């Protein structure tokens, strides 16, 4: 009968293999592959074969044998990996290797700030310097915030001034038609005094032409405190217009109507054109209507306020001499790269 296979046998064989592993020359892809098959080949690789003999060992010796063989197998794999990566490096000739010092082939296009963003930032910057803080509100509004609380009674014809994009047949959910609902939201969440502006997008169901679009931007303003008068309103707006257009700007205050202000006025700036010029409306404004203060629980006997809302596209078109509003939304590089 054959002698039983012992741990001693296995360790001696493993040690001999280890020497062979270290001595092997792996100078080519073929040599590396032969090496792999010789030691780790599935059927008769010599390390594989030793693994298969572990069950013949007495149980107490199997663990140590497993550890020895695992480390041998790992060593084979390390040599293979090292050999293959140096072969790979040699195969790639210097010209083909990636040269990280080469400049890119294409000059990156530098982005720039959209003209509307630019104008929005300069408007908010001016008001921040005048002590206003910036508020935000949702673009999806309900009827109460967008109209009712702003003193548009249900079915009042003033609602027709703002052709609304409704999101539900009930008519209660809509894209906000102006930034004025942010007045309501701010007054509901805070206490007077208020001194805020609210820039943002608004939406109307307009026929799209060179001068109207289905979305545009407004900056809303609201000041509520004790003893606020129309003189404060005019002062703030004149300060703003002087800072935005330059101190030589010509301005005109014109009576108007808005449900949420009384009295109401629009502000026009003189737009110089070759061979004349004309007045351009840039904002609506007025003294906050007592009904609006009441709808948010502020006592109109004690507090008064002014509000205004300006069209950002108008100001951008004036500032840059843009004649067609649609170009602000077309993302045409030939236009945008001029800013």
3-11, 129-137, 279-287, 297-305 -> range binding ligand DAH (CB under 6 A) = 279-287
**Cα 19 from chain centroid?**
61
- Which ranges constitute the DSSP H helices of the chain? 7-23, 29-40, 46-53, 59-91, 115-129, 143-146, 181-189, 230-245, 290-295, 312-320, 333-336
Q: Which is nearer to ligand DAH, 31 or 230 (CB)?
A: 230
Provide the Cα torsion 158, 160, 165, 167; round to 10°: 60
Among 159, 178, 217, 289, binds ligand DAH (CB under 6 A): 178
62-70, 184-192, 208-216, 284-292 -> range binding ligand DAH (CB under 6 A) = 284-292
181 belongs to the binding site for ligand DAH (CB under 6 A): no
Size of the site for ligand DAH (CB under 6 A): 11
Q: Which is nearer to ligand DAH, 46 or 183 (CB)?
A: 183
199 belongs to the binding site for ligand DAH (CB under 6 A): no
105-113, 114-122, 303-311, 329-337 -> range binding ligand DAH (CB under 6 A) = 303-311
Among 258, 292, 295, 325, binds ligand DAH (CB under 6 A): 258
Cα distances from 3 to residues 6, 56, 57, in angstroms, run 9, 12, 12
Give the separation between CA 318 and CA 322, rounded to whole angstroms.
7
Q: Is the dihedral of CA 122, 127, 130, 133 positive or negative?
A: negative
What's the per-residue H, E or C state across 28-95?
CHHHHHHHHHHHHCCCCCHHHHHHHHHHHCCHHHHHHHHHHHHHHHHHHHHHHHHHHHHHHHHHCCCC
286 belongs to the binding site for ligand DAH (CB under 6 A): yes
Q: Which is nearer to ligand DAH, 26 or 219 (CB)?
A: 219
Nearest-approach distance from CB 110 to ligand DAH, in angstroms: 36
Among 285, 303, 305, 328, binds ligand DAH (CB under 6 A): 285
56-64, 238-246, 281-289, 327-335 -> range binding ligand DAH (CB under 6 A) = 281-289
Q: Which is nearer to ligand DAH, 31 or 215 (CB)?
A: 215
List the structure tokens of 169. Answer: 């047949």
Instruction: Give yes or no for a contact between 281 and 253, defined as CB atoms under 8 angstroms apart.
Output: no
Nearest-approach distance from CB 128 to ligand DAH, in angstroms: 18
Give the separation between CA 230 and CA 247, rounded to whole angstroms.
21
180 belongs to the binding site for ligand DAH (CB under 6 A): yes
Provide the Cα torsion 174, 175, 180, 184; round to 10°: 50
15-23, 35-43, 191-199, 278-286 -> range binding ligand DAH (CB under 6 A) = 278-286
261 belongs to the binding site for ligand DAH (CB under 6 A): yes
65 belongs to the binding site for ligand DAH (CB under 6 A): no
Burial of 148 from C-beta contacts in 10 A (0-12 / 13-18 / 19+) = middle
Instruction: Give yes or no for a contact between 216 and 312, defined as CB atoms under 8 angstroms apart.
Output: yes
46 belongs to the binding site for ligand DAH (CB under 6 A): no
220 belongs to the binding site for ligand DAH (CB under 6 A): yes
Chain contacts with ligand DAH (rule: CB under 6 A) = 178, 180, 220, 258, 261, 284-286, 307-309
């Amino acid at each position: 009968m054959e002698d039983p296979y012992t741990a001693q046998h296995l360790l001696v064989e493993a040690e001999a293999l280890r020497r062979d592993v270290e001595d092997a020359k792996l100078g080519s892809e073929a040599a590396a592959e032969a090496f792999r098959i010789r030691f780790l080949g599935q059927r008769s690789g010599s390390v594989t074969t030793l693994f298969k003999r572990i069950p013949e060992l007495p149980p107490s010796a199997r663990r140590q044998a497993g550890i020895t063989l695992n480390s041998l197998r790992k060593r084979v794999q390390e040599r293979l990996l090292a050999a293959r990566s140096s072969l790979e490096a040699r195969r790639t000739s210097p010209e083909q290797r990636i040269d990280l010092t080469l400049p890119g082939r294409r000059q990156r296009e530098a982005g720039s700030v959209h003209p509307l963003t630019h104008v929005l930032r300069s408007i908010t910057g001016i008001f921040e310097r005048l002590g206003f803080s910036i508020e935000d509100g949702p673009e999806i509004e309900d009827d109460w915030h967008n109209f009712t609380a702003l003193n548009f009674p249900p079915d009042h014809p003033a609602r027709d001034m703002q052709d609304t994009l409704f999101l539900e047949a009930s008519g209660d959910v809509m894209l906000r038609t102006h930034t004025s609902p942010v007045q309501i939201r701010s007054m509901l969440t805070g206490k007077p005094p208020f001194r805020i502006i609210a820039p943002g997008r608004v939406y109307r169901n307009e026929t799209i032409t060179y001068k109207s679009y289905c979305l545009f931007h407004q900056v809303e303003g609201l000041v509520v405190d004790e003893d606020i008068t129309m003189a404060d309103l005019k002062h703030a707006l004149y300060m703003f217009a002087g800072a935005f257009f330059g101190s030589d700007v010509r301005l005109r205050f014109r009576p108007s109507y808005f449900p949420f202000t009384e009295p109401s006025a629009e502000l026009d700036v003189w737009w110089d054109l070759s061979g004349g010029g004309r007045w351009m409306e840039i904002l609506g404004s007025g003294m906050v209507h007592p009904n609006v203060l009441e709808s948010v629980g502020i006592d109109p006997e004690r507090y008064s306020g002014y509000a205004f809302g300006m069209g950002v596209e108008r100001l951008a078109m004036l500032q840059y001499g843009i004649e067609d509003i649609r170009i602000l939304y077309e993302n045409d590089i030939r236009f945008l790269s001029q800013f």
